[in-house]
Amino acid sequence: MLEAEVAIVGAGAAGLSLAHRLTRPVPGAGRLSVVLVDAPPGPLRPPRRTWCFWEAGPGPYDAALTTQWERLRIHTPEGRTVEDGIAPLRYKMLRSDDFEALVARDLADGDDVRRLEATVETVRATADGAEVRARADDGRPLTVRARWVFDSRPPGSLPAARTTLLQHFHGWFVRTARPIFDPGTVGLMDFRVPQPSHGLAFGYVLPTGRRDALVEYTEFSRAVLPRQDYEAALRHYTEDVLRLGPVHVTSTETGVIPMTDARFPRRAAPSVFRIGAAGGATRPSTGYTFSAVQRQTRAVAEALRAGRHPLPPAPHSARSRAMDAVMLRALDSGRVDGAAFFARLFSHVPMERLLRFLDGRTRLHEDLAVGARTPVLPMLRSAAELPFLPRRPFPGPGP
């Protein structure tokens, strides 16, 4: 039996970010006892992944970054190139292994956070908080009682929604025989790949050197593909579109991200909260999650330090969620051509402003200016029908 003021379940981006923030000394604030329960190595532990996000200037995880860029490039379906700087923002790439190593070093330097490896079986409310029951690898039962519990484990299924698409991707970390990449520019969306009958597809190039890059094939659609289809799409993209020549694949990554207007509850019991993707941190229109996780965990840590009620804030504003719901409906209904939709946005809106828009940091007049660059009538029709659409469970398995 362990007792703590805070228990964190899951050591992915959200769990580690919250634990990391609670270890940082804050002048005038008291110290909190924290237990972080991480799944043992195996299928319940988050897979290795690459997070991308943008922020102005230096950030708290710069020491762990793979690299960062100040320019973005888009290729339209017709092959036209759109390129622009994003100053004062920087587009950053962080691999989960490097992030975990940085956080682990900082946690090891203090004694506020105790880490456990165990499989969590139940999280239930108690009279004065909550109780986490788990089992260690050797079968021993473990119980953690805490005043507050923050659960970052992915839900077993997606909440009911009017629209749910999946952003699914497969990527190769490649090394080329000749220096071909521009290490100062991200290839954010390359629509010169064949488009599916429903949804959209694009290539994605994150160069880490003149000969090294992460090259991905991504689709927004209702269902994932067989593994061989991703491999075939990547071979076509690297050989026929990018013309990289011979490449050596050093590692791969695969992922599925829900793009949904579902409502993710952030409170499971009076003292139990959901954080991260499980608490709605994934932006429905883009799949980006890391920046919203940082905003959410920062607010929770500040509330705990100040002795306030630590309900995690909504990661995205109501206006952002409403606009995303309209976009998802327009895309899923086929009223807008997805590749043309995004290519038009990046062609007519300054990239720095568009990134702030995608992060929910633009003002109303800027949102209206962005909206004017979309197909207005299809978007209005989608907005008008949303209130009458039922919310249904997602028919497939949860990502």
The whole-number average pLDDT for the span 208-220 is 97
Q: What pLDDT sits at residue 109?
A: 84
95: part of which helix (H) or strand (E)? strand 89-95
Of 272, 263, 280, 229, residue with least CA distance to 126: 272
Distance in angstroms (rounded) separating the CA atoms of residues 320 and 324? 6
The whole-number average pLDDT for the span 197-206 is 95
Distance in angstroms (rounded) separating the CA atoms of residues 369 and 323? 13
Q: What pLDDT sits at residue 42?
A: 85
The whole-number average pLDDT for the span 352-379 is 92
Distance in angstroms (rounded) separating the CA atoms of residues 376 and 360? 20
Of 84, 141, 144, 81, residue with least CA distance to 114: 144
Residue 218 tokens read as 């991504």
Burial (0-12, 13-18, 19+ Cβ within 10 Å), 271:
buried
Q: Which is more confidently placed, 31 or 244?
A: 244
Q: What pLDDT sits at residue 99?
A: 97
Average pLDDT, the chain: 94
Q: Are 159 and 263 in contact (CB under 8 A)?
A: yes
Task: Provide, rounded to the nearest whole percent, the portion of the chain with pLDDT above 70.
Answer: 98
- Which distant-in-sequence residues (6+ apart) come within 8 Å of 130 by Cβ? 7, 123, 124, 145, 146, 147, 148, 149, 269, 271, 272
Quick: pLDDT tens for 294-325: 999 999 999 999 999 999 999 999 999 999 99
Q: Identify the three-state secondary structure at position 287.
A: coil
**Alpha-carbon distance values, 116 to 11, 40, 144, 282 (Å):** 10, 9, 10, 27
DSSP state of 273: E
Residue 217 tokens read as 């094939």
Q: What pLDDT sits at residue 397?
A: 55
- Which distant-in-sequence residues (6+ apart) come within 8 Å of 139 by Cβ? none
Q: What pLDDT sits at residue 394?
A: 87
* Residue 399: pLDDT over 60: no
CA geometry: angle at 296 spanning 294 and 300, to 5°?
115
131: part of which helix (H) or strand (E)? strand 129-135
Residue 214 tokens read as 């992460």
Residue 11 tokens read as 């050591």
Distance in angstroms (rounded) separating the CA atoms of residues 225 and 219? 9
Of 63, 60, 18, residue with least CA distance to 38: 18
* Residue 185: pLDDT over 60: yes
- Which distant-in-sequence residues (6+ apart) come within 8 Å of 325 by Cβ? 162, 163, 261, 284, 386
* Residue 28: pLDDT over 80: no
Q: What pLDDT sits at residue 396?
A: 66
The whole-number average pLDDT for the span 55-66 is 95
Q: Are 329 and 162 in contact (CB under 8 A)?
A: yes
Distance in angstroms (rounded) separating the CA atoms of residues 99 and 204? 22
The whole-number average pLDDT for the span 191-213 is 96
Distance in angstroms (rounded) separating the CA atoms of residues 198 and 43? 31
The whole-number average pLDDT for the span 217-244 is 97
* Residue 161: pLDDT over 60: yes
Residue 216 tokens read as 């991905």
Q: What pLDDT sits at residue 106?
A: 92
CA 10 from centre of chain: 16
The whole-number average pLDDT for the span 58-71 is 96
CA 7 from centre of chain: 23
Q: Are 51 and 99 in contact (CB under 8 A)?
A: yes
Number of Cβ within 10 Å of residue 384's Cβ equals 10
Q: Are 144 and 388 in contact (CB under 8 A)?
A: no
Distance in angstroms (rounded) separating the CA atoms of residues 344 and 175? 32
